[in-house]
Amino acid sequence: MAWAATVLTLYPEMFPGPLGHALAGRALADKIWSLETINIRNYAIDKHGSVDDTPAGGGPGMVMRVDVLARAIDAVELRGRPLWVLTPRGERLTQAMVGEAAAHPGLMLLCGRFEGFDERLFQARQAREVSAGDFVLSGGEAAAQLILDAVVRLLPGVVGAAASLAEESFSKGLLEYPQYTRPQVFEGLQIPEILNSGNHKKIDEWRRAEAERATQDRRPDLWAKHLAGRQKK
């Protein structure tokens, strides 16, 4: 059975968007995964199709209504799939979370707009608040596309050289080592000699050292976690 994604959004026309191209698009065409969009506005309660209202207590902007969102969520069968609500205040997405999502039968993603969600949504429905990063978007649709792209490429049969997934950034808690290809020399810059040596043991050692150096220099937070994990072994 195909891995099944359902996106609840006010803008279903934004999908599949980039997910209809390249790896994700080919996998969609090959039915490795499926994509369903649900228009939240279809579950509005009044004749005007209202999905938001003014914040309780006053303040700028509008807040998405919990009753409308609950109706949209309840109209979709979860079938063992987790529900992720996309919000900047959620836990920051990691490769480990992406791997967890890929291991489920699929994923439901709720895209926010305006000032966000009525807080009672998270009490009334089991949902995981997830953020694509420490920045704010105009809506959750771009974040949903980013998440689905990351998950789909982990599904069996999507990436041709599956072994390459194990060498990517974050797969082992480190950033990926530098990559090179032809030409041998570009504007006076040469490919590191070790990579042309044919000594695979030495190459692996060099790549490991470069991955550790890059992680230590660029992501001290990941490096600290890596060191803590090493100490536990």
pLDDT at 233 over 90: no
How far is it, in rounded angstroms, from Cα 111 to Cα 91? 15
Widest CA span in the chain:
72
Matching residue, tokens 């803008």:
11
Same domain as 119, residue 20 = yes
Q: Checking phi first, is residue 157 left (phi over 0); if not, alpha (psi -120 to 50) or beta?
A: left
pLDDT at 32: 98
Buried b (16+ CB within 10 A) or exposed e, 29-55: eeebbebebbbbeebbeeeeeebbeee
Question: Is 36 within the bounds of a domain?
Answer: yes
Tell me, what CATH number does 110's domain have? 3.40.1280.10
**Residue numbers of the domain that contains 135:** 3-152
The answer on 65 and 25 residing in a single domain is yes
Determine, yes or no, domain membership for 93: yes
Question: Which DSSP symbol is given to 18?
Answer: G
Amino acid at site 221:
D
Across residues 101-112, what is the average pLDDT?
Answer: 98
Residue listed under structure tokens 């100490």: 231
Q: Which CA distances in Å does 217 have to 55, 143, 174, 184, 233? A: 43, 27, 11, 27, 24
116 and 13 co-located in one domain: yes
Q: Could you give the CA distance from residue 192 to residue 180 in angstroms, rounded to a whole number?
A: 9
Predicted confidence (pLDDT) per residue in 166-216, tens digit: 665 576 789 999 999 999 999 999 999 999 999 999 999 999 999 999 999
pLDDT tens-digit map of 56-75: 999 999 999 999 999 999 99
Please count the structural domains in the chain.
Answer: 2
* 137: phi then psi, degrees, rounded to nearest 5: -105, 165
Cα–Cα distance for residue pair 213/190, rounded to 1 Å: 20
Calculate the average pLDDT of the chain: 94
Domain-embedded: residue 158: no
Residue where one domain finishes, among candidates 123, 152, 181 = 152
Q: Can you tell me the mean pLDDT for 89-110?
A: 97
DSSP codes, 6-17: EEEES-GGG-SG
Whether residue 157 is contained in a domain is answered as: no
**pLDDT given for residue 161 in this prediction:** 64
For residue range 10-40, list pLDDT tens digits in order. Answer: 999 999 999 999 999 999 999 999 999 999 9
What is the rounded distance in angstroms from the CA atom of residue 8 to the CA atom of residue 23? 23
pLDDT of 232 strictly over 90: no
Residue that terminates a domain, selected from 152, 177, 203:
152
Pair 140, 187 in one domain: no
> Is residue 79 very low, low, confident or very high in pLDDT (cuts 50, 70, 90)?
very high
What pLDDT is stored for residue 229 in this prediction?
A: 83
Q: Is residue 202 part of a domain?
A: yes
In the structure, what pLDDT confidence band is assigned to residue 162 with cuts at 50, 70 and 90? low
| Residues 91, 130 share a domain | yes
pLDDT over threshold 60, residue 163: no
Residue 51 has pLDDT above 70, yes or no: yes
> Strand 63-64 vs strand 52-53: parallel, antiparallel, or unpaired?
antiparallel
- Give yes or no for a contact between 106 and 3, defined as CB atoms under 8 angstroms apart: yes
Query: What does the pLDDT read at residue 165?
Result: 64
